[in-house]
Amino acid sequence: MIAELGHFVLVLALVVAAVQAIAPIYLARTAPDIALSIASRASYLQFILILLAFAALSYGFVRSDFSLAVVFANSHVAKPLIYKIAGVWGNHEGSMLLWVLIVAAYGAAYARFTDTKDSFAARVLIVQGWLGVAFLAFLLFTSNPFARLLPAPFSGQGLTPILQDPALAAHPPLLYAGYVGFSMAYAFALAALTGADDGGNWARRMRPWILTAWIFLTLGIALGSYWAYYELGWGGFWFWDPVENASLMPWLAGTALLHSALVAEKRDTLKKWTLLLAIITFALSLSGTFLVRSGVLTSVHAFANDPERGLFILAILGGFSLAGFVLYGLRLPRLAADKPFQPVSREGLLLVNNIFLATATVTVFLGTIYPLVLDALGMGKISVGAPYFNAVFAPLTIPFALLLPLGPLLNWRAGSVKPLQNRLLLAAGAAALVTCGIVLSRGAASVMVVALFAAALWLLFGAGLDLAQRLGPYRSRLIKFWTLPANAFSAPLAHAGLAVMLLGILAATQWRAEIVVAAAPNQQINIAGISLRYDGLREIDGPNYRAEQARLTYLTGRHQGTHIFPERRFYEAERAQTTEAAITTDMTGHLYAVVGETSGDKRVLRLWYHPYVAFIWLGALLMALGGSFALVTRLRRA
């Protein structure tokens, strides 16, 4: 009964979204107030209806109502409650319901928080309405989460054990909040292209929304990377898997968009490019969904699929992208000319930033799409892996990181490096000194690696310079840090975050140690200056699994005497097996231990030492924090 109600409110939501998408169009010119009022109310209502449907599906999962097909296929009574709830989006139908919920949430939030009530705002909501219509139709016609199974089975098939992890609760919602958030960029671009009544103010109104989306996407990707790191059992943090690339492309484009929108807002230039970038960023978000949800890819993210869904999403992707690009092409000649600026200026360097990020996006796109195109043309199945991406990203990163610190230090319009000379030399000297220290203590694998270290350190010190310059006027009250403007921390934190992440990636990939042994009980294992003893194995019972648990004891160092317990779990209901790595986390590095199969009377053990690997995710957190400071500044001003 609850499920039927859920289905019913979803149909209602589709109707409401259609009203939001169509009705205000006719009123926008004659009665903009009424148009906005209708669009706002429709977006609130749409959000509430989808929230009810979501609650109904969650109820089905919590109560283990196996007459619902998705619950049957993805849940089990023996599953812990948290995974029953998070399991709502641990499958195709439920995750698409989460997606439409977030689309509606952004629409409703915009209706609530927009500071200017005009026809521009109404047009933004109209575009959001169309998105609601498209995805609700997709959900209802191809992926109905409320489909019934009659007669109802007694027991569910359970959730893939690899998804039975606390990260499932946060990774998809964060990622979707990022993807869908860029729909706001698209909606703003279309609203700006369909009328000039905003006084050229769209960039200012768009920025908080793209900041929000970008923060969520950054956190979502970082959490996904961390999850893969500890769950997949070998300590890799990024696999250049097409699905990861699908999230990286909108992130790169979105990062470019953040910066070009800043120029568009402050300097009234690069506006045409910003509009195009807004459309591209959302198109990339949609392609991400298409790639993941269509089943064209092999990955841990691929749920069971049918081709009809892929086609439908492809139609949505094609429809919205085409609409955006055609409208852009038609309106381009009528857009105001961009103001000229000097190449050595903040705008100039932000443009350079955009060129680099756009190039990075294109290279990821190439590496991701090329195998799919070849396959579709019947020219063979190929895979493009990490070597390609590393070969492209390493040389791109160096000039990008070298130029980046100059941007925030230069003035708008026409800047000069001269007055900054001494400070820049200081930062460069510090970076060179630390690089020398690293090379002397750890050696140098290649010129490229040394250059990357130097570039990342220069970026870090450059961010420090930027912070010092921004805080200069407040020198006398640095102690009262809460009175300092939040704005001063945003760019320095985000840029330092990138530097920290780069350093983490370099250290973890260049200095990592690995050992595989077939160990007998009481055997000693040495890795990266750490000695451990393998004590043996025992069997334990978890809530819905059995496990073989190995015990290792630290013989030396700070953790001397402590035990670690890598496990292999067997899930009865799902008839599957997972590796639970034992990770000892220190800021200076992680010891990562995994237990494998029996080999004669011995056990295969695999250990890694990942130096400074935590810096990767710490860097991502700093970036998101920088973004949050920028967002707070904006909200306070509004």
Partner 1 sequence: MTPKQIRLAAIGGGLAFLALAAGIALTALEDNIVFFRSPSELAAKPAVIGEAMRIGGLVREGSVQRDGLRADFAVTDLAHDINVSYEGMLPDLFREGQGVVAEGRFDASGRFIADTVLAKHDETYMPPEVAEALEKSGKLNAPHPGKDGR
Residues that bind partner 1 (CB under 8 A): 160-162, 233, 295-296, 298, 300, 302, 304, 340, 342-343, 351, 355, 359, 362-363, 366-367, 370-371, 380-385, 387-388, 391-392, 395-396, 516-518, 568, 574-579, 594, 596-597, 599-600, 602, 604, 606
Q: Where are the alpha helices (DSSP H) in 294-345?
A: 307-331
| Closest approach of partner 1 to the CB of residue 387, in Å | 4
Beta bridge partners of 591: 584, 609
| Closest approach of partner 1 to the CB of residue 294, in Å | 11
| Closest approach of partner 1 to the CB of residue 30, in Å | 42
Query: In terms of CB distance, is 399 or 429 closer to partner 1?
Result: 399
Query: In terms of CB distance, is 282 or 608 closer to partner 1?
Result: 608
Report the SS3 class of residue 302. Answer: coil
**C-alpha to C-alpha distances, 128 to 31, 124, 173, 222, 494, nearest whole angstrom:** 20, 6, 19, 27, 30
Query: In terms of CB distance, is 153 or 385 closer to partner 1?
Result: 385
Tokens of 301: 């993210």
Query: In terms of CB distance, is 366 or 638 closer to partner 1?
Result: 366
Tell the residue number behind the tokens 């003035």, with chain if given. Answer: 411
- What is the spatial distance between Cα 580 and Cα 568, in angstroms, rounded to a whole number? 6
| Closest approach of partner 1 to the CB of residue 358, in Å | 9
For residue 142, the number of C-alpha atoms closer than 13 Å in the C-beta half-sphere is 20
Contact at 8 Å (CB) between 13 and 50?
yes
Tell the residue number behind the tokens 């849940």, with chain if given. Answer: 75
| Closest approach of partner 1 to the CB of residue 383, in Å | 5
Question: Do the strands 589-599 and 545-554 form a parallel or antiparallel pair, or are they unpaired?
Answer: unpaired
Query: In terms of CB distance, is 153 or 343 closer to partner 1?
Result: 343
Cis check: omega of the bond before 151, within 30 degrees of 0:
yes
Query: In terms of CB distance, is 272 or 423 closer to partner 1?
Result: 272
Contact at 8 Å (CB) between 506 and 453?
yes
Give 419-477 as a 3 state SS string: HHHHHHHHHHHHHHHHHHHHHHHHCCCCHHHHHHHHHHHHHHHHHHHHHHHHHHHHHHH
User: For the stretch 250-262, what's the b/e string if a residue is b when 16 or more beta carbons lie within 10 angstroms of its beta carbon?
Assistant: bbbbbbbbbbbbb
Contact at 8 Å (CB) between 344 and 415?
yes
| Closest approach of partner 1 to the CB of residue 518, in Å | 5
Give 98-130 as a 3 state SS string: HHHHHHHHHHHHHHHHCCCCCHHHHHHHHHHHH
Query: In terms of CB distance, is 13 or 607 closer to partner 1?
Result: 607
- The values of phi and psi at residue 309, to 5°, are -65, -45
Query: In terms of CB distance, is 387 or 472 closer to partner 1?
Result: 387
Query: In terms of CB distance, is 333 or 378 closer to partner 1?
Result: 378
Query: In terms of CB distance, is 62 or 300 closer to partner 1?
Result: 300
Nearest CA to 290 among 228, 247, 253, 238?
247
| Closest approach of partner 1 to the CB of residue 315, in Å | 22
| Closest approach of partner 1 to the CB of residue 574, in Å | 8
Query: In terms of CB distance, is 114 or 361 closer to partner 1?
Result: 361
| Closest approach of partner 1 to the CB of residue 370, in Å | 7
- What is the spatial distance between Cα 538 and Cα 423, in angstroms, rounded to a whole number? 60
Find the helix or strand (DSSP H, E) in which 540 lies. Answer: strand 530-541
Nearest CA to 110 among 134, 132, 131, 128?
128
CA-based max dimension of the chain: 84
Query: In terms of CB distance, is 263 or 594 closer to partner 1?
Result: 594
| Closest approach of partner 1 to the CB of residue 576, in Å | 6
| Closest approach of partner 1 to the CB of residue 298, in Å | 5
Tokens of 585: 């986390």
Q: Which amino acid makes up residue 215?
A: I
| Closest approach of partner 1 to the CB of residue 34, in Å | 45
Query: In terms of CB distance, is 97 or 517 closer to partner 1?
Result: 517
Query: In terms of CB distance, is 395 or 419 closer to partner 1?
Result: 395
| Closest approach of partner 1 to the CB of residue 49, in Å | 33
Q: Tell me how crowded residue 436 is: count the other CB atoms within 10 A of its CB.
A: 12
Query: In terms of CB distance, is 348 or 619 closer to partner 1?
Result: 348
First and final C-alpha spacing in the chain:
45
| Closest approach of partner 1 to the CB of residue 577, in Å | 5
For 113, counting Cβ atoms within 10 Å of its Cβ (0-12 exposed, 13-18 middle, 19+ buried), the class is exposed
| Closest approach of partner 1 to the CB of residue 599, in Å | 6
How far, in whole angstroms, is CA 585 from its chain's centroid?
24
